[in-house]
Copies of this chain bind each other. A is one copy, B any other.
Amino acid sequence: MSLPERVTIWEVGPRDGLQNESALVPTATKVAFIRRLVAAGLPVVEATSFVHPTWVPQLADAAEVMAELGDEGRGMPVLVPNERGLDRALELGLEHVAIFGSATETFAQRNLNRGLDEQFAMFEPTVRRAREAGLDVRAYVSMCFGDPWEGDVPIPQVVEVGKRLFDLGASQLSLGDTIGVGTAGHVKELLQAFAAAGMTTDQLAVHFHDTYGQALANAYAALEEGITTFDASAGGLGGCPYAESATGNLATEDLVWMLNGLGIDNGVDLDALVGTSVWMAGELGRPSPSRVVTALA
């Protein structure tokens, strides 16, 4: 079984990481964080989210972050939950947005305040207008493996949701194990089901959380299925490992260590990245949950 020669790490620390940290990080720190991630070689840095500040106060300064980044930030993806979020991205001249769908009814109701089917009607004008304006659109599919209320999520249901989001005009799906319960065999089955439904590996990304320690093993399983885009969060930002509900993202450094060992080109300067995460941990006032950061710091 041959693994990909090269992968793209989609860095979500400034968005998915910081939105799940309790600390309110100053705008200037976020901008410095993003710039350091780019300087460390990360090819894609998802910068922020234009979600309503009532829901995610940590990212209430999204417009300020993007304004400060200016031309540097133009190609960076930002999350837009709906048309109002898209409007803000368009005003700033951004080129890449992401929407955040749900693979389950309960999470759609709780996160989007809509049913599983109704989410497509909400996303349709957002994606259409973004594509008409020449923007790339990524579609996150959350709860692809398990759902805290529904338990196991049937693979055909995930494939159907993913396909429908893709057919709206997204260029890539990011399949998320939002609560981190999935294991390597489940990852392979899901990816094989998407392949059987006609989707190619470059149309798919994987997004693992390390809640149950499975994130890197799952990433390895996805590599074996030919996946070449991996979401990860610098320093494992997005959930303290000692918190009651540990929901940290896969740490970018731990992923890079594995990729380097496998000889898979990823473009990241690991020392620079670890330095960035150590600095960010200082800003947040707690150690990084990344094993590599802990070992090399």
Q: A residues touching B (Cβ–Cβ < 8 Å)?
A: 1, 3, 180-186, 210-214, 216-217, 219-221, 241-242, 245-246, 251, 253-254, 257-258, 260-263, 287, 289-292, 294-295
Contact = CB atoms under 8 A, between A and B. Distances in A.
B183 A257 contact: yes
A261 B216 contact: no
B241 A294 contact: yes
A185 B261 contact: yes
Given A221-B220, A287-B242, A261 B292 contact: no
Contacts of A262: 183-185
A255 to B, nearest CB: 9
Contact of A212 (B183, B217, B254): B254
A294 B186 contact: no
Contacts of A186: 261
A184 B241 contact: no
Contacts of A242: 287, 294
A4 to B, nearest CB: 12
B246 A212 contact: no
19 contacts: A180-B295, A181-B261, A184-B220, A184-B258, A185-B262, A185-B263, A186-B261, A210-B291, A211-B295, A213-B216, A213-B251, A213-B254, A213-B258, A214-B216, A217-B220, A220-B220, A241-B294, A246-B291, A246-B294
A246 B291 CA distance: 8
A180 to B, nearest CB: 8
Given A216-B214, A257-B214, A246 B182 contact: no
